[in-house]
């Protein structure tokens, strides 16, 4: 596969543990010729705790499972209505550092929201994307063999109640928000398309190859070129 192309997999609603294992397997088996990929997915309700996560930030998980995972960061929540983007990238081949990758993820969301007339911004102190001090997107990565997995979660239209059962990303009292609260006119397919486009361009890719083309892209080989 050419270095300027990236494969996109839209997996739909998938169990967190199985996708996590697939990401690890993909990363472990990579060679210098393995394609870079972006995975889009939603998960059933689950709390995930990062490698340095502190138990005091998990307040009252209740019936929602808590998974100790291998990404960076503290505890967060995933659930239906949250779009998750996992970048499986060869950072060495891309000549890309961790901080530039984080910034590319943040910028992809900021540009998406800008097109929806929502003013958002990233933070060097607490990676992620914020709107008026409320978190709308979280970032947690794992680097293995100079390759990335885990990634970005963007709140689109979900039940926010489970966030009250934790200190999101380890910050007591941190409020969260979502696209459906800030914008009444949006389409999930558009959000997926533009988020992926923004990230791919920010990383220097100039062609997207969809494993299964969405309805809005059935007759195109790539999203842009």
Task: Check: pTM over 0.85? Answer yes or no.
Answer: yes
- CATH architecture type of domain 5-217: 2-Layer Sandwich (3.30)
- Which tokens is 130 given? 């914020």
Quick one: pLDDT band at residue 206, thresholds 50, 70, 90? confident
Residues annotated as part of the active site: 169
- Over residues 50-64, the pLDDT tens digits come to 998 999 999 999 999
- Which tokens is 42 given? 């939603």
Quick one: pLDDT band at residue 28, thresholds 50, 70, 90? very high
Nearest to 193 by CA among 220, 175, 171, 169: 220
What does the alpha-carbon distance between residue 36 and residue 57 come to, in Å, rounded to a whole number? Answer: 34
- Which tokens is 72 given? 């960076």
- Over residues 123-136, the pLDDT tens digits come to 988 899 999 999 99
What are the residues whose beta carbons fall under 8 Å from the beta carbon of 150, sequence distance 6 or more? 23, 69, 70, 71, 72, 86, 140, 141, 142
- Over residues 185-200, the pLDDT tens digits come to 889 999 999 999 999 9
Say which range, 42-56, 184-198, 207-221, has the weakest mean pLDDT.
207-221
Per-domain boundaries in the chain: 5-217
């Amino acid at each position: 596969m050419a270095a300027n192309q990236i494969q996109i997999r839209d997996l739909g609603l998938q169990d967190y543990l199985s996708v996590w294992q697939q990401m690890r397997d993909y990363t472990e088996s990579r060679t210098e010729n393995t394609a870079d990929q972006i995975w889009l997915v939603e998960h059933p309700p689950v709390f995930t705790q990062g490698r340095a996560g502190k138990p005091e930030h998990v307040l009252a998980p209740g019936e929602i499972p808590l998974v100790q995972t291998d990404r960076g960061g503290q505890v967060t929540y995933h659930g239906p209505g949250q779009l998750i983007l996992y970048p499986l990238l060869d950072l060495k081949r891309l000549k890309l550092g961790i901080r530039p990758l984080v910034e590319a993820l943040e910028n992809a969301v900021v540009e998406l929201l800008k097109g929806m007339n929502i003013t958002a911004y990233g933070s060097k102190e607490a990676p992620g994307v914020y709107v008026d001090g409320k978190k709308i997107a979280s970032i947690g990565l794992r680097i293995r063999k100079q390759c990335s997995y885990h990634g970005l979660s963007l709140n689109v239209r979900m039940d926010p109640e489970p966030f009250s059962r934790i200190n999101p990303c380890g910050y007591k009292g941190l409020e969260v928000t979502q696209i459906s609260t800030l914008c009444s006119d949006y389409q999930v397919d558009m959000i997926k398309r533009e988020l992926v486009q923004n990230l791919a361009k920010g990383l220097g890719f100039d062609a997207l190859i969809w494993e299964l083309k969405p309805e809005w892209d059935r007759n195109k080989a790539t999203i842009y070129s």
